[in-house]
Structure 1
Amino acid sequence: MFDFQIDSMPVEELYKSQPHLRTVTDFIARQVSTVSLHVYKRAPDGGRIRVRNTELSRLMVKSSDSQLMMQLLHRSVMDLCLYDEWIWIVGTHGKGGPVSILPIPPRWVAKRHYSDQWTFSGISIWNSGKNENVFVPASSLIRFHGYNPNSLREGASPIHALKDVLKQNVARAEYQTQLWNRGPRMAGFITRPLDAKWDRADRARFKADLRSQFAAGGSGAGGIALLEDGMKYEGHHLSASDEQVVEQTKLSLETVAQVFHVNPTMVGILDNANYSNVKEFRQSLYGDSLLQIMKGFELSINAYLLPMLKIDPAEYYVEFNMDERLRARFEERASVTSQAVGAPWMSVNEAREQNNLPKIDGGDELARPLNTAFGNDEPPGGAE
């Protein structure tokens, strides 16, 4: 029964009904989508310049008139987690309108077209209004998918590797629901003397009365039953530890996290967590777990979106601002940077800007202590 339910349920229904699957996938999508995408221009000297006032910069903040890039990234990461594929359509709305990037949920795709075994040529989307499939060419699409051992055309959803765990979750939830719905609300059992006279009719009557009054919804649920002569009530209730609810819940969450390459500590398994290792787990999250996902977006934007916008990828590129998530606390960064430089490294106006204060005249120059020398500068007090 449970096997049939899980095997026949579509991915989106599993996401809605399975809390651990939703916890891990939402966590991944939130961590990726909250990192900003910045546009840079390569400088002649090998450095780079942040670009802020171009159409590409606008798209990296607001992907369309109705959607922020953060929302687009969140949906796309969720599609990748659930279907192992995300698809964007790039185009303009109306004549001369601004360029927009819109998501195409994999569920909408009726067919993926290939001109040969390797070359993707477009997709067909079902249009319910026209009652027909609409073909969208690859020239208007940006598509990314994962690995599938049987095909080069689409990925294999990680959900398939979790079917057994999800079946156990459904079975356990069903059992617990039945236990609460059908079990008496007395948290115990009743005994009678072995020599007590009790015919089949009396026994059936007592059981029927007990169920009607003390089962879920009964008038006496949670109350105390009036027992017949010779009966004794023995208090008993299965605790969470007896049912191993905590252990089973942890195992399920850990398994889902492992399939999506996320350290279980990051999604609430805190048995061996402390400040030191959680800090390191947070660093490794972006270095190991989410790097492939974020790199996929960066490379897809630079390789496909920039040419669509007639932008030279050799001159401009888009990159996640990883520093905003990996940087240490300001106190740690200030201490380490000051030791490395050996002198003040921030101007007065830069410090005032961080504290939302206006700039002051002369505040853009770095202060130089009298005991600090650079290069061929004479030491304080002159040469000896």
Structure 2
Amino acid sequence: MISLSRIFRRESRASIKSDDPYIAEWFGLRGGVGGYVDPGRASGIAVAHACIAIVSQNLAAMPLNLYRRADNGGRERATEHPLYAVLHDMANGSMTAFEAREYLNASLMIHGNAFARIEWNGRGQAVALYPLDTANVAVERLPSGRLRYRVSTNGGGTQVLLQEEILHLRYRLARDGVMGLSPVQLARDTFNLALTQQETAGKQAGRSFRPEGALVFPSAIPGDKKDAALDKLRQKIESNSAVSGVMVLDGGADWKSFSFSSKDAEFLDSRKLTNLDICRIWGVPPTVAGITDNATYSNSDQESRALVVRCLAPMAKRLEQAMNAALLTASSRQSLFIEHDLAGLLRGDMKARYESYRIGREWGWLSPNEIRGWENMPEIKDGDEYLSPLNMTVVGDRQTPDNQPEGV
């Protein structure tokens, strides 16, 4: 039976409350400043694009090597393994390793997820990676706890891939433990504010920053054809004035502005603060992203190191563990592992590097060939020898002036 409230269109509907950032998008709801944020538009903001490019390109340019554990506790590059070439040279037949890794890193930073199809050979070795569009991949959890991926193909069909056939990178695990959360959606209010400010600046620039207002006359305009006279006067003022959107009113005599100037609204300072907030979302130092208002030579160098320690290193560890789990079998992980080489980004200038080499060489934990290898120089003969400082020895081996052990 239809209730009276529905007949008179006074039916009330309960609001939906959820912490899931995607539930509002699904039901078409809007929250905060602007609700759902299009990742494409958000990533097109200048400072957001700079942050994404800095992180994705630096991680893609950083050496990502496949290592084999040595018997002495060290490591050596497994250059003969097919996976080494996939990570270091060519991800597949039409995409370089840099391009594939950059695509996956950017997708991870924008959408919170990145997918790549893995191609295996008959020996259980990964021989190619094919990055996939995040929008074309749906993830399902099977009753056994394993994951299954449905990939939409260009021809309109669907390809089902098992967990072993997909490299799945996640920015931050959602509550379901399957999907990653998008940084853009987690900070959607910040991006909404940035987009709104960008649109406002665009509208003002389209009007050449001319103010809007009303021109008020001291008395009523006489005549039977008042409206025609007002229209003619408005057209004349707009064609010969530096203002736009002018209204002509009778009564009074003053110019009434309808908008605040950028200076009065502190618009420029507000945009700078929003740009800093976007840098904080991905942990990118402001000077690295091109915000140099308070930059000096000293803090610029320190922030470049902070980029590696606080931003690139955690992201690199996230990628390494996901790749080790997806690209290496359980038996292979006992002797092989994937790792980025961050040493090149942490090195200082030539003077600082040579000073650290000198200390390591004199105190006996660096050999000439190790130092030359870091400087991309070839090895030399007898370059694997280590020095031992003359004034340092084991306590029990000290000798007295009479060449007798202490205590005798």
**Aligning the two structures, in what range does the TM-score lie when normalised by the shorter sequence?**
0.7 to 0.9
Relative to the length of structure 1, the TM-score reads 0.73
In the alignment, the residues of structure 1 paired with residue 385 and residue 125 of structure 2 have an alpha-carbon distance, to the nearest angstrom, of 46
CA contact (8 A) 2:115 2:167 kept: yes
Does residue 67 in structure 1 map to residue 95 in structure 2?
A: yes
Q: Which amino acid aligns with 1:153?
A: V
In the alignment, the residues of structure 2 paired with residue 93 and residue 212 of structure 1 have an alpha-carbon distance, to the nearest angstrom, of 73
Provide the residue aligned with 1:268 in structure 2.
290
Provide the residue aligned with 2:63 in structure 1.
36
Provide the residue aligned with 2:358 in structure 1.
338
In the alignment, the residues of structure 1 paired with residue 382 and residue 222 of structure 2 have an alpha-carbon distance, to the nearest angstrom, of 97
Relative to the length of structure 2, the TM-score reads 0.69
Query: Alpha-carbon deviation of 1:321?
Result: 0.7
> CA, structure 1 residues 363+280, in 2 after alignment: closer, same or farther (shift >3 Å)?
same
> CA, structure 1 residues 317+365, in 2 after alignment: closer, same or farther (shift >3 Å)?
closer
In the alignment, the residues of structure 2 paired with residue 363 and residue 259 of structure 1 have an alpha-carbon distance, to the nearest angstrom, of 50
Does residue 78 in structure 1 map to residue 106 in structure 2?
A: yes
> CA, structure 1 residues 270+179, in 2 after alignment: closer, same or farther (shift >3 Å)?
closer
Query: Alpha-carbon deviation of 1:77?
Result: 1.4
In the alignment, the residues of structure 2 paired with residue 148 and residue 258 of structure 1 have an alpha-carbon distance, to the nearest angstrom, of 20
Query: Alpha-carbon deviation of 1:314?
Result: 1.7
User: Identity over the aligned pairs, expressed in percent?
Assistant: 17
CA contact (8 A) 1:184 1:214 kept: no
- The Cα RMSD (Å) is 4.4
> Structure 1, unaligned stretches of length 5 or more?
218-230, 377-382
Q: Which amino acid aligns with 1:27?
A: I
Does residue 122 in structure 1 map to residue 153 in structure 2?
A: no
> Structure 2, unaligned stretches of length 5 or more?
1-29, 245-252, 395-402, 404-408
Query: Alpha-carbon deviation of 1:242?
Result: 4.4
CA contact (8 A) 2:119 2:129 kept: yes
In the alignment, the residues of structure 2 paired with residue 259 and residue 119 of structure 1 have an alpha-carbon distance, to the nearest angstrom, of 32
In the TM superposition, 1:102-141 aligns within 5 A as 102-109=130-137, 111-116=138-143, 119-129=145-155, 131-141=156-166
Does residue 315 in structure 1 map to residue 341 in structure 2?
A: no
In the alignment, the residues of structure 2 paired with residue 69 and residue 244 of structure 1 have an alpha-carbon distance, to the nearest angstrom, of 45
> CA, structure 1 residues 372+47, in 2 after alignment: closer, same or farther (shift >3 Å)?
same
In the TM superposition, 1:1-384 aligns within 5 A as 7=35, 10-16=38-44, 18-61=45-88, 62-91=90-119, 99-109=127-137, 111-116=138-143, 119-129=145-155, 131-148=156-173, 150-182=175-207, 202-212=229-239, 241-307=263-329, 312-342=332-362
Q: Which amino acid aligns with 2:107?
A: D
In the alignment, the residues of structure 1 paired with residue 191 and residue 343 of structure 2 have an alpha-carbon distance, to the nearest angstrom, of 37
In the alignment, the residues of structure 2 paired with residue 154 and residue 190 of structure 1 have an alpha-carbon distance, to the nearest angstrom, of 54
Q: How many residues align?
A: 347
CA contact (8 A) 1:353 1:359 kept: no
> CA, structure 1 residues 300+197, in 2 after alignment: closer, same or farther (shift >3 Å)?
closer
Provide the residue aligned with 2:5 in structure 1.
none
> CA, structure 1 residues 134+279, in 2 after alignment: closer, same or farther (shift >3 Å)?
same
Query: Alpha-carbon deviation of 1:300?
Result: 2.0
